[in-house]
Amino acid sequence: MSDAALRAVLKTQLADLQAQGLYKRERQIETPQGAVIRVAGREVINFCANNYLGLANNPEVVAAAHEGLKKFGYGLSSVRFICGTQTLHRDLEGEIAKFHGKDDTILYTSCFDANGGLFETILGEQDAVISDALNHASIIDGIRLCKAKRFRYQHADLADLERCLKEAEGCRLKLIATDSVFSMDGDLAPLPAICDLAERFGAAVMIDECHGTGHLGAGGRGAAEALGCLDRIDIITSTLGKTLGGSAGGFTTGPQEVVDFLRQRSRPYLFSNALTPSLAYASKTAIDLIHRSGDLRARLQENTKQLRGDLERAGFQVKPGQSPILPVMIGDAALAAKMADALLERGIYVIGFSFPVVPQGQARIRIQVSAAHTREHIDRAAKAFTEVGRELGII
């Protein structure tokens, strides 16, 4: 294939994306991440970051990153098993395991890698993996790589999960895999009932806590803690790139044998560079902050309750859920995009999501509330939504 042919094929596909209104443009932020940011020279209130407790630019975390840089240097130029493991990596792995009450933890440079390197490593042809239909792309890709028999159940549908478990009977190992919080809908997986089914059918449970770690549950241990079944979950994957400081990095925590085997065989771990020292160092501080952040979690809940109530009273349809993700249902993709633009004009930064990220005809504005938002930020958002919603005939 010539270079011209490659360009021509991609040019057509890019034009298609534009024509369908699916082309993503990146707005450039001129400040650190926070409740208020500057975009194109204008200050706006940010309601689309995964910065649920506002730790992304927390002074203690920033100071720890500086200290880590000074003590342990900038980079390692090595994968973990050659010469890329510093004391701080094992410290952080220990802290995360303790935090979740698991045996051990293995760090990755992202949760995408943690999920990508999990299934094919621990499951073989004789095994079965049973996955929620709305799981994150990284779980889907991870499962694609593995040779186990694959079963998919309708989103959060326990009867359908049971059907899959019955079909998987006779397999050597059975692993149920689910997001704990679904990022586009803000709902929590029915984890206690999933654990009940797992016990009945002798299956293990793996959850991805990316949108739960740090801010859900009384101690910030995620949706599993919030739903009272943390000790019944076998394997947890999560990210350091959302609530826990928002930089980058991911992990898998669980039984010793699982973590030991991942260290021996998980490809994104074996064949990719070690986590940056300053980041690993600061993440330990972020976890320490999580232990002391009960007030921030309470503020997050209050903010979420306030904004959900305001929007519902104004007449918006907000998907029900227990997380700080508020999906405001619009329906039409073009209308959702128009609404997001009009909100930005009023200083409220949110994003409209449409097909293929969400089902056709279910376009929505996803609001992500943060503990860093003040009461005034929440009030301004509610006011702007109401004005724009009326202007566009949504409410």
User: Which residues are part of the catalytic machinery?
Assistant: 183, 211, 242
Question: Tokens at residue 28, please?
Answer: 């450039």
CB of 344 to ligand PLP, least distance (A): 23
Choose, by CB under 6 A, the member of 104, 120, 132, 179 that binds ligand PLP.
179
Lookup result for tokens 């997050």: 300
Please say whether the beta carbons of 89 and 280 come within 8 A. yes
Q: Which two tokens stand for residue 315?
A: 């007449």
Using CB under 6 A, count the residues that bind ligand PLP. Answer: 13
Q: Out of 99, 112, 153, 353, name the contact with ligand PLP by CB under 6 A.
A: 112
Near ligand PLP in 27-66, by CB under 6 A: none
CB of 19 to ligand PLP, least distance (A): 29
In whole angstroms, the minimum distance from the beta carbon of 333 to ligand PLP comes to: 22
Provide, rounded to whole angstroms, the least separation between the CB of residue 117 and ligand PLP: 12
Is the CB of 127 or the CB of 208 nearer to ligand PLP?
208
Distance CA 55, CA 314 (A): 31
Nearest partner of 57 among 39, 37, 35, 32, judged by Cα: 32
Q: What distance in Å separates the CA atoms of residue 348 and residue 42, rounded to the nearest whole number?
A: 11
| Minimum CB distance to ligand PLP smaller for 179 or for 185 | 179
**Is residue 127 involved in binding ligand PLP (CB under 6 A)?**
no
239 binds ligand PLP, rule: CB under 6 A: yes
Comparing CB distances to ligand PLP, the nearer of 140 and 335 is 140
**Cis peptide bond upstream of 356, omega within 30:** yes
Kindly report the number of other CB atoms within 10 A of residue 209's CB atom: 29
State which of residues 46, 121, 178, 183 lies at the interface with ligand PLP (CB under 6 A): 183
Kindly tell me which residue out of 100, 102, 136, 149 binds ligand PLP, with binding defined by CB under 6 A.
136
Does position 210 interact with ligand PLP (CB under 6 A)? The reply is yes
Nearer to ligand PLP, 213 or 354 (CB): 213
Site for ligand PLP in 281-310 (CB under 6 A): none
Q: What are phi and psi of 380, to 5 degrees?
A: -65, -35
Least Å distance between CB 263 and ligand PLP?
A: 19
Considering the rule CB under 6 A, would residue 120 count as an interface residue with ligand PLP? no
Q: Is 178 among the residues that bind ligand PLP (CB under 6 A)? A: no
Q: Does 217 interact with ligand PLP (rule: CB under 6 A)?
A: no
Which residues does 227 contact at the CB level (< 8 Å), separation at least 6?
188, 191, 192
Return the amino acid letter for 252: T
In angstroms, rounded to a whole number, what is the distance separating the alpha carbons of residues 316 and 388? 11
Q: Does 208 bind ligand PLP (CB under 6 A)?
A: yes
Q: Which of 131, 138, 247, 253 binds ligand PLP (CB under 6 A)?
A: 138
Residue of the chain from 54, 241, 254, 389 that contacts ligand PLP (CB under 6 A): 241
Between 141 and 257, CB nearer to ligand PLP: 141
Segment interacting with ligand PLP, rule: CB under 6 A, options 89-97, 106-114, 294-302, 342-350: 106-114
Find the Cα–Cα–Cα–Cα dihedral 48, 50, 55, 56, rounded to 10°: -80
Measured from the CB atom, is 171 or 230 closer to ligand PLP? 230
Contact range with ligand PLP by CB under 6 A, out of 1-9, 107-115, 259-267, 278-286: 107-115
| Pairing mode of beta strands 250-254, 104-108 | antiparallel
**CB nearer to ligand PLP: pick between 108 and 151:** 108
110 belongs to the binding site for ligand PLP (CB under 6 A): yes
111 binds ligand PLP (CB under 6 A): yes
Only one of the segments 163-171, 207-215, 281-289, 291-299 lies at the binding site for ligand PLP (rule: CB under 6 A); that segment is 207-215
List of residues contacting ligand PLP (CB under 6 A): 110-112, 136, 138, 179, 183, 208, 210-211, 239, 241, 250
